[in-house]
Amino acid sequence: MPKKIMGLLSLVITLLLILTGCGVNAREEGPQLGQISFEVIQPDKLPAEAAKWYQDNFAVDGLHSFTAGKDRYLLLSAGEKPTGGYAIEGLTLTGTEKEIEVKAKLKSPQSGDLVTMALTYPHVLIKLKEDGRQLRFGGIEGNVPTGGGGTAEEKQGFGVYTGQIDSNSIEIKVSGTKAPKDDYRAFRLSEEIKNKFDSLQLNTGDEVLFTYTVNEHNQQILTSIQKTKR
C-alpha cells in the first residue's frame, strides 16, 4: 500500500511540474514588451523570397516590413543622400500589447569630413520574431526626405561653387549621377544665407554641400551651404 501511495504521489508531482512548465512557456511566448531585441543582418542573410523586396525598398524613405515564416524583417531607410558620411544610428523598437514602435536617428557628415562624393542610400536591415503586432514608424530624427511631395520640401545637393550672379543669387555646378554632365544652376539666397554670405568666404571652385527648396515660382532657394573636402 505505501508503495502505491508513493507511486501516486510521484505521478501527481510529475504532472504538476509538467503543467507548471507549460504555464511558464506560455508566458514566455507572449509578446515582448518594452525594448524589443533584434538582430542587425546583411542583405545576403535574407531568405531568397525577400531579395526583391530589399532591392525595391532600400533606397526608399521609410520603414518597410517583410515576413517569412516565423521571422519578420524590417528595413529602415533614410532615402537618397548626396554624399557618403550618413548612417542610421540609435535604432530602437518599443513594444506594447498591440504594436511595435520603430524609430532611429540619422548621423550626417560634418563640415570638413572626408566623405564619398557619390549618391548614397543609408539604411539598416534587422531581423526579429514575427508576433503579429502592427508597426508604428516613429521616424528618423534628423532626416530630411528627398522624395517627391510637399511644395516647400527641402532637398540636398553637392557641387562646385562657380560664383555670385548678383546680390541675391549664386551659381553652382551640380554633381551627382542623376545630374547632366554640365548642370549649372542658379540658386536664390534665402534671407538667412544672404545676411551671412560674406562670412562663408566661398571661392570659385570650392566644393560645397547645400540644401534648398523650390518655391511656387519654381525658383530654387538656397537654405544652407558649406564647403567640403574630397
- Same structural domain for residues 130 and 175? no
| Structure confidence by residue, pLDDT tens digits, 120-129 | 999 999 999 9
pLDDT of residue 219: 76
Q: Which domain holds residue 131?
A: 34-141
Q: Which of 4-18, 21-35, 70-84 has the highest mean pLDDT?
A: 70-84
Please report the pLDDT score of residue 55 as a whole number. 92
Q: What are phi and psi of 57, to 5 degrees?
A: -120, -10
> How far apart are the C-alpha atoms of 102 and 63, rounded to whole Å?
8
pLDDT band at 70 (very low <50, low <70, confident <90, very high): very high
pLDDT computed for residue 166 by the predictor: 84
Supply the pLDDT for residue 148.
41
Q: Is residue 11 part of a domain?
A: no
How would you label 111-142 residue by residue, b for 16+ Cβ within 10 Å and e otherwise? eeeebebebbebbbbbbbeeeebeeeeeebee
| Residue 14 counted as domain residue | no
| 101 vs 5, higher pLDDT | 101
Q: How confident is the model at residue 6 (pLDDT cuts 50, 70, 90)?
A: low
Confidence of residue 38 (pLDDT cuts 50, 70, 90): very high
Contact yes or no for 187/155 (Cβ under 8 A): no
Domain count, the chain: 2
- In this structure, are 135 and 159 located in the same domain? no
Instruction: List the single range of 12-26, 67-81, 113-127, 146-160 with lowest mean pLDDT.
Output: 12-26
Residues 136 and 161 in one domain: no
Lowest mean pLDDT among 10-19, 88-97, 142-151, 156-165: 142-151
* pLDDT attached to residue 180: 46
Residue 150 pLDDT level (bands cut at 50, 70, 90): very low
- Does residue 165 fall inside a structural domain? yes
Is the pLDDT reported for residue 104 higher than 90? yes
The reply to whether 2 falls in a domain is no
